[in-house]
Amino acid sequence: MPLTPLRSDKTFDFYGRFILRVLFGLVACLVMSIVGSNSASAAWVYNANSAFVTHESGGSQVAAFSNFKAGHGTILNGAPVLGSFVQFADTDHTDAWLSPVNTALQGWSKNNASGSIPAIVVNTSNGPVSATADIALDPSQILMHAGGIAGTGNVGPLADAVLRFTTTNAGVYKITGAWEALDANYTSGHALKYILKNGVDTIYTSTLDNPSINLSGIVLATNDTIDFVVSMPGGNFYGSTGLTATLEGVAAVPEPTTLVLFGLAGIGLTGIAKRRRARKVA
């Protein structure tokens, strides 16, 4: 009695096609997963201004809100010393910057004898507010001012004003916004504006009075930082600088496990294709 073959060519073709469909389905799911994660990353929007206002409405004095921290860093030869960020202390918080009547201007500053600087404050009201006769802020606009952190604001050690963002989502980001010279006595080029990545890499600098911010393709890993810095090489008066800033994740970086699965699926498809070609040659 003849023996029945354990596997016919038709049976192999059936199972081969089945395995191919499974593998193609796996690849399709992985592609959709990556595309979906890229689309979802567009929802990673961090607006420094609205986050600052929301923080102040909650009554907290801690110099951290959403993914942002307010602080200062050392100035050397008119430029920020990379990696010198120090967060403002809770006791540096103010509910009325410069004057008891400026209750809409809240944030942090060094309480010294010459202007309460360095400072990072925000207009928490729904309308324009004057900090002094020469300085006016739009609603939710952030004011940044460098200054000395010793007994007076114009005596060293000098410090720049630093607003730091820390990412919780790895991806590719774009940064948009604008700086504005707020002081009526502002001298052109008096305040320098920087944006630093991880406190050491300068990705933006401007000496213009009212420059825009439009950066894209900024790759950030989890816990990477972006610093918005105002530094004043020409002295610490008349340097109030406004800031509006938004960071938006525009693409997610695929997780290593996703790439591994994608690779395994590709290897499987290659193996099936080679086996089928080999059978046809035979």
Domain boundaries, the chain: 11-41+255-281, 44-252
30-53 residue pLDDT tens: 444 444 444 444 569 999 999 999
What the block records as the tokens of 254 is 């695929």
Alpha-carbon gap, residue 161 to 28, rounded angstroms: 49
Predicted confidence at residue 232, as pLDDT, reads 80
Position 237 confidence tier, pLDDT thresholds 50, 70, 90: confident
Alpha-carbon gap, residue 225 to 80, rounded angstroms: 16
Encode burial over 16-43: b for 16+ CB neighbours within 10 A, e otherwise: beeeeeebeebbeebeeebeebbeebee
> What values do phi and psi take at 279, rounded to 5?
-65, -40
Predicted confidence at residue 244, as pLDDT, reads 98
Residue 137 pLDDT greater than 70, yes or no: yes
Chain centroid offset of residue 26 CA: 34
Alpha-carbon gap, residue 88 to 124, rounded angstroms: 19
Q: Which CATH class name applies to 44-252?
A: mainly beta
% of residues, the chain, pLDDT over 90: 48
The type of residue at 144 is M
Give the ranges where 42-106 is alpha helix by DSSP (H): 48-57
Q: Which of 81-85, 144-148, 196-200 has the lowest mean pLDDT?
A: 81-85
Position 20 confidence tier, pLDDT thresholds 50, 70, 90: low
Predicted confidence at residue 255, as pLDDT, reads 52
**How many helices and strands, by DSSP H and E, does the chain display?**
3, 19
241-276 residue pLDDT tens: 999 999 999 766 555 554 445 455 455 555 555 555
Position 280 confidence tier, pLDDT thresholds 50, 70, 90: low
DSSP run (H or E) holding 161? strand 158-166
| Mean pLDDT of the residues in the chain | 79
